[in-house]
Structures are given as C-alpha cells and as structure tokens.
Structure 1
Amino acid sequence: MKICVFGAGAIGGYMGVKLAQAGADVSLVARGPQLAAMQDRGLTLIEEAGQETTARVRAAEDPAELGVQDYVIVTLKAHSVPPVVPRMQPLIGPGTTIVSGVNGVPWWYFHKIGGAYEGTRLASVDPGNAQWDGFGPDRVLGCVVYPAAEVIAPGVIKHIEGNRFSLGEPDGSKSERALALSAALSEAGLKAPVRPRLRDEIWVKLWGNLSFNPISALTHATLDVLCTDTGTRAVARGMMLEAQQVAEKLGVKFPIDVERRIDGGAAVGAHRTSMLQDLDLGRPLEIDALVGSVQELGRVTETPTPTIDTVLALVQLRARSAGLYR
C-alpha cells in the first residue's frame, strides 16, 4: 500500500512520522524550509508525553517524483487545495483514493447524499469545481481530523493532543478501501474508525470552527475567554444554532447540544485557534471553508443565517485589511 500525504505541515507531518514508524510505504509532499529539513535530517516528532523520535521519510516538492499512489491524504488548508489539483495528477491512477482530511464543509459533501440536494456543488470550498472535476467524487474518502499539532521548527512537529482520524464513505458503507486504510492507520498507533454517518462528525467539529475561529480572529481571545465571556459566548451560540438549523435540514443528527459544545471549547483552555494563529503569522485565513460554506448552505436550504452573515462580513474585512483574504 502506497500512501502519500499531500501537505506535510503539522497534521500531515504527524501522520507521516507515525506511518513511517510503523513501516508503511509513505511519502510526503512539502516545500520550503520544511521540505529541506525533512530531506536533510528527517522528520522529528515530539509526542504528548515529551518523547522525541525522528523518521527518515521520502519527501518531494514535485509529486511527479513520487508516482501513482493507492491513497493520497490531503492535509492542506481548504483554500490551498483547488489551485494544486493539477499538480496532484501524477499521484492519481485508476485505483487511487483521495482522502479529504481538510477542515470545514468538504467539497464532496453532496456526493451520494441522496434526495433533493444530490450532486450540489459548493463554490465556497471548490471554486470552479476544481476538485469535483479534477479528482472525481467517486475517488473520495472522507476524514475528520481531531489531533492538534504544530510545526515548532522546520522538520519538527510537536503533537499536542488527540490521535483520531475518523473515516467515512460518502454513501456510509464500510468499503474495502476504508477498512484497509483504517487498518494501516491503526497499525501506526492512530485511531481510525470507519463511520457510517461521517457527516454528523463533520458538523460537530464544524460547530466550533465556524464560531470560535472567526470570533478569536476578531477579538484575539483564546478559547477559554471567548467561550465564557457573556457577549462572545452569545455570538458563538447564535452562529451554532443557525448552523444546526441548516444541518438538520440536510439530515444531520447532533449527539450533543450547543451549550455542551461551547463548554467543550472552554475546557480546552487558553488555546489560540488556527485562524488566530494564521492572522498573527500573516498566513491566508481559512474563512470560506469554515464560515462561508455554512452561509452558502443556508442559501441552498433557504435557512436565514443573520449572525453567521454578520461575523463572516467582519472577519472577511479584517482578513482583507491584513492582505490575507482574496
């Protein structure tokens, strides 16, 4: 089984080291100082408990150097994927599975969902249908990424917490390809359950990303603060309740309520969200997949989203003012 991780940042690097340690045939696509460090010294992982390991991994900037893969696990930021679809083609053969480990509403969301919305395309996450046409939705295997990790130096990944990568077919089946990848990830010490209702998990994670990320970028507050401050908690609650209305129209079942989800965010502590980190580091913000997509789904399902619309407009302007949003 040949596995390529496309996007060897924090999460991709974490997966790459764990797979390499387990003896998997894994390669990584990266660039810049991260790629140079991996090629020179290997990729180092500092685990939760502090133990440090280094793995020699095959890494390249040009996917053509790596050849056709059985699985391509995409761990880029959502807005970074459509522009690189043409570059990824050398990795894709007749039997290649694209594993979409990207935050937010996935581009394949309406593939094999059934009903009136079957086949709907989402411009906010797949402008120009780049992924739908360039990969083909039949290739996709969904993935919800739960671990937290960060690149603390080129070629060095610090794992903060979590090791679960939930997998799921768009039609909910337990396919041979899903079970095979689950087994490979499990052998690497990762949890990789195959879920029949992955979209439910997508929304529970999206609940937090949709609200906590833009609010933190606007206020510079950490999770413990924005989830307990009366005002910002109310804004987050409003966004989540609107999103819940949208999701339930699409058949999603939420296993917890809004208050518990916000309390879960507060329990994480003084954590700076990924959007706040990107803002501070001058990196493009993941606004469309996390917030714009839910607004678009509101339009698709004819559901008003006034709180989401307001926060989206504010964070878009904040990002544009910083030169971090198109």
Structure 2
Amino acid sequence: MQIKSVAVLGAGAVGSYVIWGLSSRKNIRLAVIAEGPRAERLKQQGITINGTTYRPQVWTPQEANGVDLLVVALKYGALPGALDSIAAAVGPNTTVMSLMNGVDSEEIIAAKIGAEHVLPSLIKVASHKEADGYHFNPETTIGIIYGELAAPLKSERVQAVEALLAGTGIHSRVTPYIKEEIWSKFRLNVCNNLPQAILGAGVGCYQSSAHMKTISDGLCHELEAIAVAKGIDLSKVDASSRHGSLVPPATRYSTLQDLDAGRHTEIDMFSGALMRMGQELGIPTPYNEYTYHMIKALEEKNDGLFDYAAKASDLTCAK
C-alpha cells in the first residue's frame, strides 16, 4: 500500500501544518477540498504559512473521490455540514484521518462512511493566524499521533502513513494507545484551553495564578472521572503526553483566539460534550457547566447581545 494522493478538508490552523509538510513531497498529488468562492480564493491566493505561500491543488469533493488519504481538519461546528463532502471524497480504499479536537469526530465520520476507513489520530500544534497567514514553530510542534484501535498495530495503512510523513518535517509517531492519547489531548484542551479563554490571558496564567490552576484542576478532575467511567485508562499514556508544545506564556489557544476574532468557539465539543457524558453517567460536572455557560455568554457578547449603549432607551430593573 502506497499513498499517492492526499486531500485536506479544512485548510485552517491545523490543515496548514499538513499542507506545509506534505508540500515537500513531489511524488504525491496534494489538494485542498473546497467549493464556490472559497475554492476560487484558494486557487488565486494560495495558503500562506510561516511567510511562504503554498499552492496545493483545489478539488471539489467529487474530484477528490477515491483519494488515498483524506485529512479532516475542520472546526467541530462545521463537521455535520461536511459529512456529505467527506462521503463524496471517500472511495473503497480511502483512509481518513481526523485531526479535529474532541473525542467523537471519528465516531461521527465513521457513522457516515464506515469505521473501516477511519484511522484514529490527533494533532498537537500551536498554530495561529496573523494578517499574513498561519504561523507555528516547526521545531517545538509535537505533531500527529495515530494508530490502530486493535491488532495488527503495524497495519498496512499505518506503514503507508509512516512512509508518507517520513522526511517531510511533520513530527509524528505511532501509538498502541490511540484512544487514550485522544482523551489525553482532550484533557489538555479542556484544562488549558478553556479557563484562559474566560480570563482573556495567555497560557502562563496557570503558573502565575493559584486561582487559575484551581479552575484548571477542577475541570480535569471531572474529565478524568468520566474517562474512568467510560473505561479510558489514561495511565497507559506517558506523563509527557499531558503537555502540549512548548509555547511562550503569552500564547492564546484556539478558544481564546476564536473569541478574540469574534467567532463562535468549539465549547460544545469540550465542556458541552463532558456535560452530556456526565449526565449519562450520573457524574456531576459543575466546573464544566460554569465554563460552558460563561463561554457561551462571551460568544453572545461578541454577537452584540449586551451592547446596551445601542439600546439606551430601554429600561431594566436593577435588583
């Protein structure tokens, strides 16, 4: 098995890391899946990553049909609307790797195309968008982690992905504990991504403030209780996997980046998912419930819901 064609669905902060690395591969066809005005924009402008503009091919989902490897790097809220596009791109021998946050994107995709196509995976990259495109540090990026859920762990497709990524600059490793690794990243996101988004400060806040560490720890304790109840043994994962890429203390992770830019966040995939699982399992999640509603309120603030200056004629009762 050899991967000769790769399509990326979602050419944002995560997809740009894949495009950056695989653009050095001259023996494959590399494309971004897009349609309409976005496709035209990508064809005309390309994608600027770390100061260099890359011009992968741009395919419709139908043009991508039968691609050897499909990398899904969407925002969580975009996944339901993209399932038909994913199905259109997948052929009998297509492998799909989801590099999305959260713990259920593989299940959602598998329900549409069949679990046999999905190679579980995750990515750890501190990528952000600036006026001139996407930026990340290639050296400190942990990269892509992937593996089979059951033997044979060194399957043909795992070996094919290893061969594809070798020498590209993309950091990667195969793990026998991919489910635990995905939950470990989920823990990292919930504990580090969310509290700083409410505070509006860099990730260094967890070291600078005992109060922020207490909030982070509370979120983690709830997540770990749910993981135990679901049979996810996080002790199988090296302690080092609890840490993300080395970043400056001013780093603002994806949820805060979304709020800074006035976008809606992926909070439904983080605390929202934990609240649902907690309800199903009878496990209280007060830290996650508070975090969920606070970030939803910050989204409403960005939407202008609390712009009372524009509603000066309105009166309300202060109690």
The bucket for the TM-score relative to the shorter chain is 0.7 to 0.9
1:15 is aligned, of 18, 24, 31, to: 18
1:11 and 1:150 in contact (8 A); partners too: no
Structure 1 residue runs of 4 or more that deviate by more than 6 Å after TM superposition: 31-34, 264-267
The change in CA–CA distance for 1:290 and 1:31 in structure 2 (over 3 A counts) is farther
- Is the alpha carbon distance of 1:85 and 1:261 closer, same or farther for their aligned partners in structure 2, counting shifts above 3 Å? closer
For residue 75 of structure 2, what is the amino acid of its counterpart? Answer: K
3-state SS of paired residue (1:64) = coil
1:13, distance to aligned residue in structure 2 (A): 1.9
Distance 2:94 2:261 in 1: 35
Q: What displacement does 1:243 show?
A: 1.0
Could you say if the C-alpha distance between residues 36 and 163 of structure 1 is closer, same or farther in structure 2, counting changes exceeding 3 Å? farther
Q: 1:158 aligns with which of 135, 140, 154?
A: 135
Which residues of structure 2 form unaligned runs of 5+? Answer: 305-319
Matches of 2:125 and 2:162, distance apart in 1: 16
Q: Which residue of 2 aligns with 1:120?
A: none
* Contact 1:21–1:55 (8 Å) recurs in 2: no
- Please give the alpha-carbon distance, in whole angstroms, between the structure 2 residues aligned to 1:22 and 1:238: 44
Q: Which stretch has the larger CA shift, 100-109 or 294-303?
A: 294-303
Selected match of 2:282 from 296, 302, 320: 302
Tell me the TM-score normalized by structure 2: 0.81
- Of residues 111, 115, 127, the one that matches 1:137 is 115
> Residue in 2 aligned with 1:77?
75
Structure 1 pair 204/133, CA: closer, same or farther in 2 (3 Å)? closer
**1:180 shift after superposition:** 0.7
Q: 1:153 to 1:270 in 2, by over 3 A?
A: closer
Q: Deviations over 1:52-98 (max 9, x none)?
A: 544431024x3223332111100111221111111233211111121
Mark the structure with the bigger radius of gyration: 2
Secondary structure class of the residue paired with 2:136: strand
- Is 1:90–2:70 an aligned residue pair? no
CA contact (8 A) 2:185 2:242 kept: no
Conservation of the 8 A alpha-carbon contact between 2:34 and 2:61: no
- Match for residue 8 of structure 2 among 5, 8, 12: 5
Give the aligned partner of residue 56 of structure 2.
57
* Corresponding position of 1:39: 43
Name the residue aligned to 1:225: 205
Find out whether 1:322 has 2:299 as its counterpart: no
- Report deviation, 1:133: 3.0
- Pick from 178, 181, 188 the counterpart of residue 198 of structure 1: 178
User: 1:297-326 deviations in whole A, cap 9, x for unaligned?
Assistant: 2234332222222222222233244349xx
- Partner of residue 251, structure 1: 232
Q: How many angstroms apart in 2 are the aligned matches of 1:28 and 1:153?
A: 21
Q: Contact 1:224–1:267 at 8 Å: present in 2 too?
A: no
Aligned positions of 1:150-299 closer than 5 A: 150-153=128-131, 156-160=133-137, 161-171=140-150, 173-249=153-229, 250-254=231-235, 255=237, 268-299=248-279
Aligned Cα root-mean-square deviation (Å): 2.9
Kept in 2, the 8 Å contact 1:5–1:75? The answer is yes
The CA distance in 2 between the partners of 1:193 and 1:266, in whole Å, is 18
Give the Å deviation of 1:269: 1.1
Q: TM-score, normalised by structure 1?
A: 0.80
Q: How many pairs are equivalent?
A: 295
1:25 matched residue in structure 2: 29
Residues 192-216 of structure 1: CA deviation (Å, up to 9, x unaligned): 2221101222222222211332222
